[in-house]
Amino acid sequence: MSTTLFSDIQRLFERTYAAAGINLEDCLIDRQRCGQLSRLAGARARELSELARTFLRRVGDDLCIGIYYSRWLIDQLEKHDPRRGLSDANIRHLIAFVEEINHALHAALAFRRGIREIESEDFARNLELQAQVDTYQVLLLFVGFFRQTQRVSKMDRRWLRFHLFSSQCPSGYDDPNLRGRYAETTELARHYTACLDALNSARRIDEIRLFHALDYQQKKERILALMAPPSEDH
């Protein structure tokens, strides 16, 4: 059975966390529908990326999901397929692609757990923080796959971390809420993934599953606790 990059990534996340219960590829929408949903979302949506967006809407007891990718982004990923290797030519495009799948998956899992406050700021920040953490892990897998030793070097990690955490520009948002959201979640993800890098693979999986189950405020507390220096015994 043939697979797509989209389905491969969804399955990877579901193996780590849980099945979403839906095929997220069925949630893909075209440019016209993206425009309609962007107008419904209001002025703040105008500042979101034109390359990729995820729309969430609650209708009674159902969660409606729409995932949009621009034709240009898809063309770039087809031209520089990350399954043949990661480079400066495709890493930013892969990040945008993976993050939207992650947003949709974790929104679906949260909704199944009974979380209904999908329009709250904490919910949005939780999705953004989780997406950056998970996308970093996906990037590591892509890089490791193309290394003969299957090991990711310090140089590789610096390159990935630059594109995921340092090349972003949260200060470019006019909306102060969006500016604060992306600045805070990027900084938290940068610190948390550094902590994950220090763990072996088994402990890392246990940690990210524990992290995933937390709400946003609990995630912040978890990161601050991991960053704190060990107390000295007297």
- Residues 194-223: pLDDT tens digits? 999 999 989 999 999 999 999 999 999 999
Q: What is the model's pLDDT at position 1?
A: 41
Q: Is the pLDDT of residue 145 over 70?
A: yes
Tell me the average pLDDT of the chain.
Answer: 91
pLDDT score, position 234: 42
User: Would you state the pLDDT for residue 166?
Assistant: 87
User: For the chain, what percent of residues have pLDDT higher than 70?
Assistant: 94
Q: What percent of the chain has pLDDT over 90?
A: 76
Summarize the confidence of residues 159-185 as an average pLDDT: 87
- Over range 15-35, report the average pLDDT: 95
* pTM for the structure as a whole: 0.92
Question: What is the average per-residue pLDDT within 10-18?
Answer: 96
Q: How far is CA 165 from CA 73, 81, 137, 157, 182, in A?
A: 20, 22, 13, 11, 10
